[in-house]
A and B are shown apart, each in its own frame.
Chain A
Amino acid sequence: MDYDVIILGGGANGTGTARDCAMRGLRVLLLEKADFGVGASGNSSGMIHGGIRYMLSDRHVTALACRDSGYIQRIAPHLLFRIPFLMPFTTRAAGATLRDRAAWYATEVYVGTYDLFQPLKRGKPSTRLSADELYRLEPGLRPGLRGAVTLDEWGIDAFRLCALNALSARAHGAELRTWTAAREILAEGGRVRGVRFRDALTGEEGEARAPVVFNATGAWSPALARRSGAAVPMRPGKGVHLTLDRRYSNYGVILSAVDGRQMFVMPHESESIVGTTDDDYYGDPDDLEATNDEVEYLVEGAASLLPGVRNARITRAWCGLRTTIYAYGPNEDALSREHQLHDGAAYGRAGLLSLVGGKLASYRAQAEEATDRIVALLGRAPVPCRTHEEPLPGGDEVPDPAALARAHPVAAPVAARLVYRHGGRAREILRLLEEDPRLGLVLCRDEGILAAEVVHCVRHEQVRRLQDLRRRCRLAVGACAGLDCARVAAQLAARELGWSPEQVRAELADLLDAGWRERRPILDGAQLVQEELVRGAHAAAGAPW
């Protein structure tokens, strides 16, 4: 056999499991049909939260998530940022009914109970804010609120989390193949024996053999399983987020959508993110786009407490598919966020393990559990997991951005973004400037992308297509939509990867296509102006139109 285990899918579960398996000494091949994190992981809210929502139904999900949040802070401290959330009391202050008071009391008890979990993730205990205190913190909230409770959560760049897990796996000997899709899981005599795959960029087809195949392809799982004679039941749910061009609040705000569902507005860098919808989705997972009514739903919900959002410039509408465990009956929101490992033995596919469900926040624990099962399926002696101890690449010796900015010719905000994305490896990136000062050019002022960062990512972070840089360093995902960064980044990548002029133009077109899909439903006001500008600029420079 070529490998001990073949892992399908480059999301948090796939890359996390690849890392764990490789660290435990297994020979690992990871196949990802596109790039790391393109599915549910990267398009999630990007929160390493404790799952307060699940406290009533799945209390152990909350505990698991909180404990793992603490571990993730330890292994990737640079990638996490604290998001204090406000849960405003929306009922009238004057003449509150007994029912209102009971609701406030219940909220306080609820959040107070969550406080018991907070130490697991280094969270701060909740506080109770008076109306005055609330409006001092968030003057943009609509008038008439009675106060709020706070609760502490953590955010993360989920795309980079996936990429770092993959890179760590590679450093421990795993082989990674992105833009390579599993076509079929091969089986013989009731056991899996490998995978047939196809490289989407070169057209190369091949087979890789392993006694265990771990299927972590998320919403793509059911179709892959069907093609291979197995079944993975799930209820895929579509979740849409909006990015607003600036911060409409400095704290996360939890609020209710028009149908009473819980939603949030939260700050991320200089932007706000609004999320999320949750609807069953049975379409093609490769053809996922936010619709106008989903955008409307989110704006209406966010504007109910932050009226300024109604006039916001929306810069992107992005979506992913949750893979919740199949159940007939419950509403989408009420579906369990628990995860399950399906053994393919029932379908004559012993050695096939499929993961359904789970949360980004608990990816590491899910990967540990999956790796334990994989080791057992291989009949190996148990090896202890170390993924909660060993830092992810860049997660050790994280530098102080201000000190970096003093020591190198780079502006402090750019240094801060660099450290956020790359942790300790920011130093390596800035060393590129010593050899080639041109690489100190800030390609994108929205996202603080240095030319050196693009070069570093292309060289060291498994970049095969230009659009991979959307996920490695946020190329062309800011409000500018790739106006004057995309072409120069394409040229830099071309030089590193040896692309022909035709390939560069095709890659640039592909990058612009990816942005277009996220902006199509939100073209309005200044963002429509920007769209025209971007199209004009790239057409003038000879990008294919």
Chain B
Amino acid sequence: MVSPRAVAADVLVVGGGMAGAIAALAAREAGARVVLARRAPGATALSSGAIGVAPDPLALPGEPLRAAREPLEAARRLARLRPDHPYAVLGERLGALPEALAFAARVLAPLLAPPLERPRFLATPFGTAVPAALCQRSQAAGDLLAVDGALVVAGLRGHLGLDAALAAAGLERYRARGGPRAFAVEVDPGLGEVGLFRPHELARALEPPGAAEALGRAIRAALPAGAGAALVPPVLGLRPEARVPERVAAAAGIPVAELLADVPSVPGVRLQAALEAALAAAGVEVVQGALQGAGPGKPAMVGADEITAPRWVLATGRFVGGGVVRRGTLREPVLGLPVQAAEGREAGVDLAARPAASLTGAARSGPQPLLSAGLRVDALLRPLDGRGRPAADGLFAAGAVLGGHEQASDGTGLGVAILTGYLAGRAAARPGGGE
């Protein structure tokens, strides 16, 4: 029998996705000793790899891309329309958003491009443009407002994942709003039979010496006159150290960017890897395993480690992450906190035992209380019990475990993770934090 290793820390962060990692890094920067316990890599690895903060709910359909509001203003507009959204719950503290984004860009600097005042408009495989407050360096050159000349969508011969003609036809629609001309070309990446490759296999195949360069040369050969940048499928390497995007761009002779990804998401995997690298560099101890514990100040078991910390940040995610589960009833499995937040008329109602169909609407794209179920918190990010009082001293929550937003599909998931992770991490770093 192995006796448990006792670890004492100031802050225990539960969850290793974007919210947990940012919380741990923010607490660490504020001088706290931080342990991060995680069961598995977070759902961040499944994201598109770019960071949307808030789609502007008041943006007009045909307005020029340049008219886009800065992320904070878009988030404020969203908060006014959706009173249960974490942005609204934070009240004045929403104003910390630019600071939080700058923090994330700094700690993830090798991977992320520096933020601009305005969102970047990044292309999806359908040729739509999505505003992103932060994005990876490999995505930044695809910003529709940054392309100097025509945007060339380069499909890879033999790869069905991207229909370049379709994407280019969609992007052409943005010309009226200030976007570039868009063309489609097909290039041979020189990897042989790639037709049956999955995205991560293709990404790995581009890493060895010569492979990225061959793709770059093929792009250069296919470029029409006046090309300002090339967009390729999101497969430019799994490991940032392989510098695939830079090598492709150097050989292509123009800026090259990746489209946004669905699953399996190569950029999402890179984002998760960058979080882990940042945690290691900052000296956050990461322990792996399911956590059993009764809350801040009491010992918690993770594998063979017994961790005691006076303050906790719960950043366990939503359903994919396992921070909220439903087996007949909705539960928060770590501390048994009430699952009660949702949007619309279900807000604040105890959702636990309600049948699934009563928590969903018939229209798929309408509000779905079940899919926005999570913890309810006060403006200091302290989870509330059934009577609306903080559930435990020293307990904070961040990211998708917070209810009130459909983080997977409403375009605010990673923005909420960064902002609430940053605020919760800093609050947890101070004794009596957040008071």
- Does chain A bind chain B? yes
Nearest-CB distance from A409 to chain B (Å)?
8
Give the residues in chain B near A542, CB-CB below 8 Å: 124-128, 130, 260
Which B residues from 151 to 184 make CB contacts under 8 A with A?
158-161, 163, 165-167, 169-170, 173
Closest-by-CB residue of B relative to A436 is: B195
Number of interface residues of A (CB under 8 A): 50
B356 touches A491 (CB 8 A): no
Give the residues in chain A near B358, CB-CB below 8 Å: 292
Which B residues from 319 to 374 make CB contacts under 8 A with A?
319-320, 325-328, 355-358, 360, 362, 364-365, 370-371
Cα distance, A540 to B125, chains bound together (Å): 10
Majority SS at the chain B contact face: loop
A483 touches B356 (CB 8 A): no
Q: How many interface contacts (CB-CB < 8 Å) are there between A and B? A: 147
Cα distance, A545 to B166, chains bound together (Å): 19
Give the residues in chain B near A520, CB-CB below 8 Å: 356-357, 360, 362
Q: Mark A513-545, 1 if CB is under 8 A from B, else 0.
A: 100110011111100110111011111111111
Interface 9-mer from B17-25, B293-301, B402-410, B419-427: B402-410
Partner of A532 from B128, B320, B327, B411 at Cβ < 8 Å: B320
Pairs A-B, 8 closest by C-beta atoms: A542-B124, A536-B408, A501-B170, A438-B195, A541-B262, A540-B48, A539-B409, A516-B364
A529 touches B319 (CB 8 A): yes
Partner of B193 from A437, A523, A529, A544 at Cβ < 8 Å: A437
Partner of B160 from A292, A451, A494, A512 at Cβ < 8 Å: A451
Known: A488-B160, A539-B409. A523 touches B260 (CB 8 A): no
B residues apposed to A, CB below 8 Å: 43, 46-48, 124-128, 130, 158-161, 163, 165-167, 169-170, 173, 193, 195-196, 260-265, 318-320, 325-328, 355-358, 360, 362, 364-365, 370-371, 406, 408-411, 413
Known contacts A291-B357, A491-B163, A523-B356, then 13 further A-B pairs from the complex at CB < 8 Å, ordered by chain A residue: A292-B357, A437-B158, A442-B196, A500-B169, A501-B166, A502-B170, A505-B128, A520-B360, A523-B370, A532-B318, A536-B46, A540-B265, A542-B127
Give the residues in chain B near A501, CB-CB below 8 Å: 126-128, 166-167, 169-170, 173
Partner of A509 from B130, B173, B365 at Cβ < 8 Å: B365
Question: Is residue A441 within 8 Å, beta carbon to beta carbon, of the partner chain?
Answer: yes
Nearest-CB distance from B212 to chain A (Å)?
22
Nearest-CB distance from B144 to chain A (Å)?
13
Closest-by-CB residue of A relative to B263 is: A537
A438 touches B48 (CB 8 A): no
Can you list 27 A-B pairs with a CB-CB distance of less than 8 A? A437-B196, A441-B160, A451-B160, A484-B264, A487-B125, A491-B160, A494-B166, A501-B173, A504-B166, A505-B128, A509-B364, A516-B364, A521-B357, A523-B360, A525-B325, A525-B326, A532-B319, A532-B320, A535-B371, A535-B406, A535-B409, A536-B408, A540-B260, A541-B48, A541-B260, A542-B260, A545-B409
Question: Is residue A289 within 8 Å, beta carbon to beta carbon, of the partner chain?
Answer: yes
Closest-by-CB residue of B relative to A544 is: B365
Cα distance, A523 to B368, chains bound together (Å): 12
Nearest-CB distance from B84 to chain A (Å)?
18
Cα distance, A289 to B358, chains bound together (Å): 13
Cα distance, A488 to B158, chains bound together (Å): 13
Nearest-CB distance from A242 to chain B (Å)?
13
Known: A500-B169, A535-B408, A545-B409. A440 touches B370 (CB 8 A): no
Cα distance, A520 to B406, chains bound together (Å): 16
B327 touches A524 (CB 8 A): yes
A residues apposed to B, CB below 8 Å: 289, 291-292, 437-442, 451, 483-484, 487-488, 491-492, 494-495, 500-502, 504-505, 509, 512-513, 516-517, 520-525, 528-529, 531-533, 535-545
Partner of A528 from B43, B130, B319, B364 at Cβ < 8 Å: B319
Give the residues in chain A near B166, CB-CB below 8 Å: 491, 494-495, 501, 504
A438 touches B411 (CB 8 A): no
Nearest-CB distance from A113 to chain B (Å)?
42
Nearest-CB distance from B271 to chain A (Å)?
12
Nearest-CB distance from B44 to chain A (Å)?
11
A522 touches B160 (CB 8 A): no
Cα distance, A525 to B411, chains bound together (Å): 24
Cα distance, A289 to B361, chains bound together (Å): 12
Cα distance, A515 to B220, chains bound together (Å): 42
Cα distance, A378 to B126, chains bound together (Å): 52
Give the residues in chain A near B48, CB-CB below 8 Å: 540-541
Give the residues in chain B near A522, CB-CB below 8 Å: 356
Give the residues in chain B near A513, CB-CB below 8 Å: 364
Give the residues in chain A near B411, CB-CB below 8 Å: 539
A483 touches B409 (CB 8 A): no
B263 touches A483 (CB 8 A): yes
Closest-by-CB residue of A relative to B370 is: A523
Give the residues in chain A near B169, CB-CB below 8 Å: 500-501
Cα distance, A501 to B358, chains bound together (Å): 34
B126 touches A541 (CB 8 A): yes
Nearest-CB distance from B206 to chain A (Å)?
18
A524 touches B265 (CB 8 A): no
B365 touches A529 (CB 8 A): no
Give the residues in chain A near B130, CB-CB below 8 Å: 542
Give the residues in chain A near B265, CB-CB below 8 Å: 540
Nearest-CB distance from A411 to chain B (Å)?
11
Nearest-CB distance from A442 to chain B (Å)?
8
Closest-by-CB residue of B relative to A409 is: B196
A540 touches B47 (CB 8 A): yes
Give the residues in chain A near B170, CB-CB below 8 Å: 501-502
Cα distance, A440 to B196, chains bound together (Å): 7
Cα distance, A520 to B356, chains bound together (Å): 7
The interface centre, meaning the residue of A292, A484, A512, A539 with most chain B CB atoms within 10 A of its CB, is A539
Give the residues in chain A near B325, CB-CB below 8 Å: 525
Known: A513-B364, A545-B410. A533 touches B124 (CB 8 A): no
Give the residues in chain B near A437, CB-CB below 8 Å: 158, 193, 195-196
B126 touches A505 (CB 8 A): yes
Known: A437-B195, A535-B409. A484 touches B263 (CB 8 A): yes
B160 touches A438 (CB 8 A): yes
A492 touches B126 (CB 8 A): no
Nearest-CB distance from B257 to chain A (Å)?
16
Give the residues in chain A near B128, CB-CB below 8 Å: 501, 505, 542
Known: A524-B327, A535-B408, A541-B262. A488 touches B161 (CB 8 A): yes
Give the residues in chain A near B161, CB-CB below 8 Å: 488
A533 touches B320 (CB 8 A): yes
Nearest-CB distance from B272 to chain A (Å)?
14
Known: A495-B163, A521-B356. A540 touches B261 (CB 8 A): yes
Nearest-CB distance from A393 to chain B (Å)?
27
Nearest-CB distance from A448 to chain B (Å)?
14
